[in-house]
Amino acid sequence: MNRLQQQAWLDQEDARVSGIIRKHGWAVELIGFGVCSTPGCDCKPSEVPFAYTIGLFGMGHPELLILGAGWSTSHSVLNDLGK
């Protein structure tokens, strides 16, 4: 992927996450679960996958982080806490 393609993808990803935050108030980012939407990425699962929120700080709350749980559990827990 060349630099312009990478920047276009990053811009689209920023817009996608911003849309989720506008709709729900926060988003959950999953890292190290072996799934990646980056074109050309050969991501492998990390030893300790984690997930975190984006957007709670804008509502006056700290962002949240969960380590070592499955992606479904991580997503559910962070969304429940966000609510």
pLDDT band at 1 (very low <50, low <70, confident <90, very high): confident
Mean pLDDT, the chain, integer: 88
Q: Tell me what pLDDT residue 40 has.
A: 64
Confidence check: pLDDT of 20 > 80: yes
Give me the mean pLDDT over the 47-58 stretch: 92
Range of the domain at 24: 3-82
pLDDT tens for each residue of 30-49: 888 766 666 666 666 667 88
- Report yes or no: 51 and 75 within 8 Å, Cβ to Cβ: yes
DSSP-derived secondary structure for 25-83: S-EEEEESSS---STT------SS-EEEEESSGGGTS---EEESS-HHHHHHHHHHHH-
Q: Determine the pLDDT at residue 33.
A: 76
- Number of compact structural domains in the chain: 1
d(CA 66, CA 30): 10
* Cα distance between residue 67 and residue 63, in whole Å: 14
